[in-house]
Amino acid sequence: MSEEAAAPKAPRFVWLFALAWAGGAIAYVPFLTILLPLRVIITSGADGVRMIAIITFLGAICASAGNILFGWLSDRSGVRKPWVLAGLVLSQALLVALPLSKSAWTTVGLILLWQLALNMMLGPLSAWAADRVPRKRTGFLGGLMALSPALGALSGVIVTVPGLADADQRLWLVSAMVAACVLPVVLVERDARAHVQPDDAAAERPRRHFALTMWAARLLVQIAEAALFAYLLLYFRSLDPLIQDSRVARLFSAVLAAAVPVAIVAGRIADRSARPALPLAVCALCSGLGLLGLAGATTIGEATLAYVWFGVATTVFLSLHSGQTLLVLPNPAHRGRDLGLFNLTNTVPSMIMPWLTVILVPERGFPALFAILALLALAASALLFSIKRLD
């Protein structure tokens, strides 16, 4: 019997996994973008900017290594749930312990341990989806995963509501929201053995070049997304120095929310298509066109329209890609490890993008940066258009 035939349809699991995956975003989006910088500035003073840079760089390395390591360990152990639960408990314990740190370097150490613990949860969690979700529902799963960045951004709004919580209580609030999202899938759903018999694996194994093509395409698009995430406010202020940060934040959140229904519809289309990579190729093409629009924009209105186009297309691409990746894993017996390798496309751009920006923006401005990023997105689209099937 094939693995797909043996797998349950698991519509409940798909929804609970999407909620748990959103819990991962809630764990790091408000913390890394708002709460951590404020805390580092308090403990480091004038040296805060340098410490944030160090934490960002070393944190990306720990996240990359942790995702591969714990994904591999869950492969070896044959279970996912214990790793997910242990990662949840450890990461949230480290999060709420952060106020105990009295020095900048102690804070750095806690953050690096937190990154490892968080990826102890996320690595096996993604592999669990590969174990449980049938091939004909991976597009829908990817569409639901668009909820993750949207809820991550919403959680940042919630924890910063004036008067709701002080600095330490915000960490507890984040921890509670993460637990509320992740625990349902752990408590309700059954585990699945990570290992697959060789005959089953051979029947389901796609060719490795599909995986390499998908990996390269995501890396190219993710570099562009990381640049806009980090420098969106600075870009808008290069066009209008008086634009308020709250307006940019609302635009960012609105784009993430608008992408959710688009991603779900696109995921359904991918599930029914003979070429499930085609929606990804179209989204990458749209991302490239949006970046060209940003490069050519001369007013806030033009830049806003171009960013909405780019932001929706890129969010849909990244969400769908996360689901379609499950179709191209070379060996079902090593899903956790291989998904950890795919996760490098999320962390490596954080190491590449700052240098690309430093080289281009001071001398040539944001239009030059966006033109280069557009070429990367269009190259990703060309790679994906070349894929005729994913099995």
pLDDT values of the chain reduced to their tens digit, one per residue, 391 residues? 444 444 445 588 999 999 999 999 999 888 887 788 777 777 776 667 677 778 888 888 999 999 999 999 999 998 999 999 999 999 999 999 998 888 888 888 999 999 999 999 999 999 999 888 888 888 889 899 999 988 988 888 888 888 888 888 999 999 999 999 999 999 998 886 544 444 354 445 545 778 889 999 999 999 988 888 777 877 888 888 888 767 887 888 889 999 999 999 999 998 888 788 889 999 999 999 999 999 999 999 999 999 999 999 999 999 999 888 888 887 778 888 999 998 898 888 877 777 777 788 788 888 998 999 999 999 999 999 988 766 5
Distance between CA atoms of 81 and 19, rounded to whole angstroms? 15
Distance between CA atoms of 96 and 63, rounded to whole angstroms? 19
- How much is the pTM? 0.83
The confidence score (pLDDT) of residue 203 equals 44
Which phi-psi region, left, alpha or beta, contains residue 191 (left: φ > 0; alpha: ψ -120 to 50)? Answer: beta
Angle at the Cα of 252 (from 247 to 255), degrees rounded to 5?
125
The confidence score (pLDDT) of residue 377 equals 95
Residue 112: which residues within 8 A CB-CB, separation 6 or more? 55, 58, 59, 62
Listing DSSP states for 47-84 in one string gives: GHHHHHHHHHHHHHHHHHHHHHHHHHHHHHHT-SHHHH
List where CATH 1.20.1250.20 sits in the chain: 3-194, 201-385
Alpha helices in 273-334 (DSSP H): 278-296, 300-324
Q: How far from 58 is each of 13, 64, 71, 183, CA to CA, in Å? A: 34, 10, 20, 29
CATH match of 3-194 with 1.20.1250.20: yes
Superfamily of domain 201-385: MFS general substrate transporter like domains (1.20.1250.20)
